């Protein structure tokens, strides 16, 4: 994780798990006493956005930047000027949680001049259990379209195949295999394999190296 | 088919297409926008048609037309949008047109907000439009059930020649969950001999209409409708319940709130409380009879809704004063927590376990 660039852009297909990964990443950095900003640039989704968890994240010392208008039920794509803070202030580790699909990646265009090759990472979150991203071809289509819209390059793949709380080792392995194939064809490295903490000990050895254990922050107790 | 992860709104679109729905007419509104988005992308692939209508009113009247021609057709919206459709829904009911109408509810009244609610229970079950009509109202509690009920809804609409409403709250529409599309083994359905598909010069034209110029004819029509509704009451009431016979307190809730109630019940059980659950799956017809299984000395029935007490009225009708009725609700898009429900149940217990 220490090799990742200061600016980390999290993109992917709608519903691939970008927000859950972004929050977990932010928490992990905060625990290492890093100065962390989590930028919620999701203007596609209106439920289950990282800004909903602002309170618990701020308690951990994470700066959460959502919309400039404070309303949980906001239905307009208003972005805060504060987004520039972690982009300009180099003392920040910036995690940018972007809305799904090319439509969501459109917000990145405005920050184009901050993304110079080598100073940012753009991670593509991949869930092989989503009907739209089950084959190499389909995944590549999303990767290309999002790169085109965002005018930035994908630098890593996050294998995030799961079925929420009912995820099995088989799901994780299936996702790992798809991610590896995509990585081979695209030359984009497989960066992390996210796995629910409790599943980590059950994983095959070959996967364990780049495992990123996660908790589900966005799922309430009563949710599946 | 293996399980996939889908958002409620996408899954309901996929379920409709799997059930043979070929036409979708709608107008965007949060929190159900993924439904038209999904249908616009997927319907052309199966030779179907998606139209974004100029308004909700236009959309429901397109549904009327397509259903009249015998097609499987769906529209979807959210609370204020469904309010706009009421005239057309009443016409569909009057003309006995099978169709599926989805309401992914948000907070109200008026434009309200985009967060989840259950404030359209009255609108759905009491007739939001004019006239003595009923909809079969199905209330899914998770994405899998949403898929199953959409598929069932199309069959039931055809079987009874009646509009079917899927009543889900914003949470069900927006939530991502594992789903499986089970083999949709269609029941034997009657041929649509009434549909306006052209006479080919071989028969008298079929007429789809809700206007009756003669009072006696209209009364006869209404009598027939009521006979149909009686049959639906007898055969289509659906409910899930557990531990109700010897419960000290029974919680009743539908949709998302029923899941929160289940979590609360599990917590209460661990502490030694005896709490049962009645979860109506059909809101009309309402499972009144299920409440008669509750013992006379039950301390109370707690209705939990994301509104200020709408289903509560049906619960009171079912209990008929035999057991006290209590209510807990949140509004505006606020979702009750299991802890809030636990607390309310303990209040009803009144400290004596």
pLDDT, one tens digit per residue, over B74-84 is 999 999 999 99
**Predicted ipTM?**
0.91
Q: Which residue range forms the structural domain that includes residue A183? A: 7-214
Q: In the prediction, which pLDDT does A62 show? A: 96
Q: Is residue A223 part of a domain?
A: no
What integer best gives the mean pLDDT of chain B? 96
Q: Is residue A68 part of a domain?
A: yes
Q: In the prediction, which pLDDT does A118 show? A: 93
* pLDDT (average), residues B195-221: 96
Q: Give pLDDT tens digits for A99-110.
A: 999 999 999 999
Contact state of A222 with B174 under an 8 Å Cβ cutoff = no
Contact state of A130 with B4 under an 8 Å Cβ cutoff = yes
Q: How far is residue B51's CA from residue B44's CA, in Å, rounded to a whole number? A: 11
Q: Is residue A59 part of a domain?
A: yes
Q: How far is residue B165's CA from residue B185's CA, in Å, rounded to a whole number? A: 21
Q: In the prediction, which pLDDT does A21 show? A: 97
Q: Is residue A221 part of a domain?
A: no
Q: How many domains does chain A have?
A: 1
Q: Give pLDDT tens digits for B266-303.
A: 999 999 999 999 999 999 999 999 999 999 999 999 99
Give the residues of chain A that fall short of pLDDT 50.
none
**Nearest CA among B351, B341, B349 for reference residue B267:** B341
Report all structural domains of chain B as residue ranges with CATH numbers, in order of start. Answer: 4-236 (3.40.50.970), 239-349 (3.40.50.920)
Q: How far is residue A76's CA from residue B74's CA, in Å, rounded to a whole number? A: 28
Note whether B105 and B165 are within 8 A (CB).
no
Q: In the prediction, which pLDDT does B185 show? A: 65
Quote the minimal CA–CA distance from A18 to chain B in Å: 13
Tell the burial category of B191 from Cβ atoms under 10 Å away from its Cβ (0-12, 13-18, 19+).
exposed
Residue B265 has pLDDT above 80, yes or no: yes
* B178 part of contact set with chain A, CB < 8 Å: yes
pTM: 0.95
Q: In the prediction, which pLDDT does B353 show? A: 60
Token look-up 């929420």 returns: A164
Residues from chain B contacting residue A72 (CB–CB below 8 Å): 115, 333
Q: How far is residue A150's CA from residue A153's CA, in Å, rounded to a whole number? A: 8
Q: In the prediction, which pLDDT does A66 show? A: 85
Q: Is residue A163 part of a domain?
A: yes
Among candidates B3, B260, B263 on the partner chain, residue whose Cβ is nearest the Cβ of A163: B3
Q: In the prediction, which pLDDT does A95 show? A: 97
CATH of the domain at A151: 3.40.50.300
Q: Is residue A1 part of a domain?
A: no
Q: Is residue A224 part of a domain?
A: no
Q: In the prediction, which pLDDT does A75 show? A: 66
Q: Is residue A222 part of a domain?
A: no
Quote the minimal CA–CA distance from A44 to chain B in Å: 10
**Nearest CA among A128, A117, A124, A175 for reference residue A147:** A124
């Amino acid at each position: 994780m220490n090799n990742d660039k200061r600016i980390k852009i999290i993109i992917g297909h709608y519903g691939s798990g970008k927000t859950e990964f972004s929050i977990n990443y932010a928490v992990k950095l905060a625990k290492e006493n890093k100065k962390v900003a989590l930028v919620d640039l999701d203007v596609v989704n209106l439920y289950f956005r990282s800004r909903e968890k602002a309170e618990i994240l701020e308690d951990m010392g994470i700066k959460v930047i959502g919309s400039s208008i404070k309303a949980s039920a906001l239905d307009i794509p208003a972005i805060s000027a504060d987004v520039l803070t972690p982009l300009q202030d180099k003392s920040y580790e910036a995690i940018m949680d972007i809305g799904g699909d090319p439509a969501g990646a459109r917000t990145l265009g405005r920050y184009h001049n901050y993304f110079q090759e080598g100073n940012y990472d753009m991670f593509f979150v991949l869930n092989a259990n989503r009907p739209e991203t089950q084959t190499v071809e389909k995944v590549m289509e999303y990767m290309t379209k999002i790169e085109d819209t965002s005018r930035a390059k994908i630098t890593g793949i996050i294998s995030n195949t799961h079925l929420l709380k009912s995820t099995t080792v088989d799901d994780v392995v299936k996702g790992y295999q798809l991610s590896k194939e995509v990585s081979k064809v695209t030359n984009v490295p497989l960066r992390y394999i996210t796995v629910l903490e409790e599943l980590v000990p059950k994983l095959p050895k070959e996967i364990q190296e780049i495992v990123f254990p996660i908790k589900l922050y966005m799922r309430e107790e009563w949710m599946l | 088919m293996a399980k996939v992860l889908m958002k409620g709104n996408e899954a309901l679109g996929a379920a409709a297409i799997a059930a043979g729905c070929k036409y979708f007419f709608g107008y965007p509104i949060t929190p159900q926008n993924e439904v038209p988005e999904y249908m616009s992308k997927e319907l052309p692939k199966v030779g179907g048609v998606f139209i974004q209508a100029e308004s909700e009113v236009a959309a429901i009247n397109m549904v009327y037309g397509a259903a009249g021609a015998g097609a499987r057709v769906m529209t979807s919206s959210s609370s204020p949008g469904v309010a706009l459709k009421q005239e057309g829904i009443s016409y569909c009911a009057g003309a006995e047109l099978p169709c599926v109408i989805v309401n992914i509810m948000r907070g109200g009244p008026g434009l309200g907000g985009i967060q989840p609610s259950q404030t359209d229970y009255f609108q759905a079950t009491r007739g939001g439009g004019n006239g003595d009509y009923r909809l079969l109202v199905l209330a899914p509690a998770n994405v899998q059930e949403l898929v199953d009920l959409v598929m069932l809804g199309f069959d039931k609409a055809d079987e009874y020649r009646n509009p079917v409403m899927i009543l889900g709250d914003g949470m069900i529409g927006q939530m991502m969950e594992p789903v499986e599309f089970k083999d949709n083994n269609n029941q034997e359905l009657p041929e649509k001999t009434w549909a306006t598909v052209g006479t080919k010069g071989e028969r008298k034209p079929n007429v789809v209409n809700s206007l009756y110029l003669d009072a006696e004819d209209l009364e006869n029509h209404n009598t027939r409708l009521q006979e149909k509704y009686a049959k639906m009451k007898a055969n289509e009431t659906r409910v899930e319940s557990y531990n109700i016979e010897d419960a000290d307190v029974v919680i009743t809730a539908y949709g998302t709130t029923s899941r929160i109630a289940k979590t609360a019940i599990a917590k209460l059980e661990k502490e030694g409380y005896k709490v049962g659950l009645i979860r109506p799956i059909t809101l009309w017809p309402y499972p009144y009879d299920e409440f008669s299984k509750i013992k006379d000395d039950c301390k109370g029935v707690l209705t939990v809704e994301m509104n200020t007490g709408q289903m509560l009225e049906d619960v009171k009708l079912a209990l008929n004063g035999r057991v006290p009725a209590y209510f807990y609700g949140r509004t505006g898009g606020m979702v009750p927590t299991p802890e809030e429900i636990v607390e309310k149940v303990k209040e009803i217990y009144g400290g004596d376990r």
